[in-house]
Amino acid sequence: MATAFLRTVILYFLIMFGLRLTGKRQIGELEPSELVLTMMISDLATVPMQDFGIPLLAGVIPILTLLALSMLLSQLSLKNLRFRALLCGVPTLLIDQGRICQEAMRKNRFTIDELLEELRSQGYCDVKAVKYAVLENSGQLSILPWPREQPPSARQLHHPVEDDISLPLILINDGRVLRSNLKKCGKSEAWLSQQLAARGFSSPRQVFLLTITGDDTIDYLPKEETP
């Protein structure tokens, strides 16, 4: 049992570390090669986890090899556009200027039913409403409707708008002061203590979340008492 426990811990951390190195993307956004890599690694890891007759190294070496190869190929694809196209493929236009590209659909084995299903799932019941539909490398379909089918933007209406959007910066997270963010927005701990006192808090520990926006607007959420 101790063997199973230790092997599982080692393999878990190895895979987590390895997948962290390969990138941040979620399963739903994986490209085919990345999905295959993830499936192969998970399958390889389970064998030495359950079968103690197989050395741990028999699982570790293929996993490390796959991760290193994947890193190498992604670095190569960053450096060389042709290699990237070969490894990841290129996005394909399935609808171009409102016209369904039947040849591209045939090449990608994409049926008209699948295309209509994708369009419906993104809120378009009529093919005529779509100007471009791009089949991405991840297998997802990106749809760009004709301008007449979209709500007009402020720019299209020539309407001046004030830029009042700024990313809130977290200064207190679950009672802990994030000093790096405090420094980033040019504030001191003394200023934070002052702000807390003004809101009736004697310590950052009493605050669950406190954020500041670009125009110095502070939003906060007091910490609830634990029962």
Partner 1 sequence: MKSFLPSVLILGGILAFSLWNCAAMTAHTERWSGQLEQVAELAGEEDWSGAETALEESYRDWSSHQTLLHIVERHDSVDDAEAMYRRASAFAKEQEASEFQAELADLRDQLRLLAEMERFSIKNIL
**Which residues form the interface with partner 1 (CB under 8 A)?**
52-58, 61, 64-65, 67-69, 71-72, 75-76, 78
Among residues 51 and 219, whose Cβ is nearest to partner 1?
A: 51
Among residues 49 and 171, whose Cβ is nearest to partner 1?
A: 49
Minimum CB separation of residue 73 from partner 1 in Å reads: 9
- The answer for residues whose C-beta is within 8 angstroms of residue 98's C-beta and 6 or more apart is 127, 128, 130, 131, 146
Q: Which residues pair with 96 in a beta bridge?
A: 99, 132
Query: Taken in order 167, 173, 175, 178, is the CA torsion positive or negative?
Result: negative
Do 59 and 44 contact (CB within 8 A), yes or no? yes
Q: Measure the CA–CA gap between 84 and 103, rounded to whole angstroms.
A: 23
Q: Is 177 left (phi over 0), alpha (psi -120 to 50) or beta?
A: beta
CB under 8 Å, gap of 24 or more: what pairs does 112-115 form? 115/141
Q: What secondary structure does DSSP assign to 115-155, as a single string?
A: HHHHHHHTT---GGGEEEEEE-TTS-EEEEE-GGGSPPPTT
Among residues 77 and 206, whose Cβ is nearest to partner 1?
A: 77
Minimum CB separation of residue 2 from partner 1 in Å reads: 15
Minimum CB separation of residue 146 from partner 1 in Å reads: 42
Minimum CB separation of residue 64 from partner 1 in Å reads: 6
Minimum CB separation of residue 18 from partner 1 in Å reads: 10
Among residues 57 and 93, whose Cβ is nearest to partner 1?
A: 57
Q: Quickly tell me which residue has 């009672």 as its tokens.
A: 175
Among residues 57 and 86, whose Cβ is nearest to partner 1?
A: 57
Sheet holding 130-135, edge to edge: 99-100, 92-96, 130-135, 141-145
Minimum CB separation of residue 87 from partner 1 in Å reads: 14
Among residues 75 and 150, whose Cβ is nearest to partner 1?
A: 75
